[in-house]
Amino acid sequence: MKNTVVLIGAGSIGQAIVRRVGAGKHVVLADLKLEAAQSAANILEDAGFECSAVAGDLSSRESILELIEHARKFGPILNVVDAAGVSPSQAPVATILKVDLYGTSVFLEEFGKVVAEGGSGIVISSQSGHRLHALSEEENTALATAPTEELLSLPFIASITDTLKAYQYSKRCNVLRVMGEAQKWARRGATVNSISPGIIITPLANDELKGPRGDGYRKMLSLCPCGRAGTPDEVGDLAEFLMSSRGRWITGADFLIDGGTTASYFYGDLQYLKATH
């Protein structure tokens, strides 16, 4: 038996993280598209990692439970990464809320029951959640602690009609939910944190840069404090630290890694974007 690393969402960010924490362990790669999980497994296996690839749907509790059963066959579940998600331009409101908000909450709840002593979890949220206005104390508490099955019926969630708002609320919920679950994970000797990336270059982001909105994107990137987009590896480096022995005093926290974009959106050169969000 080996320690097991589980990744759901086998895209660029998720792969960068498991490359850093998966050596000598069994890496389970799950994705809604089995071919995405399989292609990530092929790349990692050619780089010396032991992997298995499965189809897995973050938005389904049944699928998450099947993923846990699969992962347990290889050994204790030590590291878990939720890097699955759909963005505002990829899906309608209901899908964004079901995958990004509800699915991530199921992931935190179910993996929080099985994660091994000394383990760690990472959820990939987004800078987008930091752009949402401040919520009331009652709304924050509900997103952090309401029973998972009740989240989508909360009136202020059920009334969302705009895909960007659906994404922003989902990503804010990820951060609050991590706070709400941290105590339970700690009882098992495990940490859990979220990372909120800014624009990270992936095939999808590259398509945006080449597409009709490319000029707007380039202007925004050149005006942000760091003057460029981020890379999946930079997110991977942060996750590696949080999941390492040096990160054991860090749990229930969110880490914004966005080249200063959020700071600039509120108080710097990117304030012009407020008119469009």
Ligand X SMILES: NC(=O)c1ccc[n+]([C@@H]2O[C@H](COP(=O)([O-])OP(=O)(O)OC[C@H]3O[C@@H](n4cnc5c(N)ncnc54)[C@H](O)[C@@H]3O)[C@@H](O)[C@H]2O)c1
Residues 48-67 that bind ligand X (CB under 6 A): 56-59
Identify the residue whose tokens are 């010396």.
Answer: 48
Span near ligand X by CB under 6 A; candidates 7-15, 66-74, 158-166, 213-221: 7-15
- CA distance linking residue 220 with residue 216, whole number of Å: 6
> Is 13 one of the binding residues for ligand X (CB under 6 A)?
yes
Q: Is 99 an interacting residue with respect to ligand X (CB under 6 A)?
A: yes
CA distances from 276 to 114, 207, 271 (A): 42, 21, 10
Q: Considering the complex, state which of residue 189 and residue 211 has its C-beta at the smaller distance from ligand X.
A: 211
Residue 134 CA to residue 169 CA, distance in Å, equals 11
**Both tokens assigned to 52:** 């298995």
| Neighbouring-strand partners of residue 200 | 230
> For residue 260, is it left (φ>0), alpha (ψ between -120 and 50) or beta?
left
Q: Binding segment for ligand X among 70-78, 84-92, 180-188, 267-275 (CB under 6 A)?
A: 84-92
CB-based contacts of 39, cutoff 8 Å, min separation 6:
10
CA angle (118 as vertex; 243, 40 as ends), nearest 5: 45
Q: For the window 126-165, what string marks contact with ligand X as x by the rule CB under 6 A?
A: x---------------------------------------
User: What is the layout of strands, in order, in the sheet containing 50-55?
Assistant: 50-55, 26-31, 4-8, 77-82, 120-124, 191-197, 254-257
**Residue whose beta carbon is closest to ligand X:** 11
Number of residues that bind ligand X (CB under 6 A): 30
Region near ligand X per CB under 6 A, out of 5-13, 68-76, 158-166, 265-273? 5-13
Beta carbon of residue 72, minimum distance to ligand X (angstroms, whole number)? 19
Is residue 11 a contact residue for ligand X (CB under 6 A)?
Answer: yes
| Binding residue for ligand X, selected from 7, 32, 122, 224, defined by CB under 6 A | 32
Active-site hit among 25, 165, 167, 265: 167
Q: How far is the CB of 117 from ligand X (least distance, A)?
A: 27
2 tagged catalytic: no
Cβ count within 10 A of residue 44 = 21
Q: Is 167 a catalytic residue?
A: yes
DSSP tally for the chain: helices H, then strands E = 12, 7
Binding ligand X (rule: CB under 6 A), the pick from 67, 86, 106, 242 is 86
Q: Please give the residue ranges that form the binding site for ligand X (CB under 6 A).
A: 8-14, 31-33, 36, 56-59, 83-87, 99, 103, 124, 126, 197, 199-200, 202, 204-205
Which residues are catalytic, by number? 167, 171
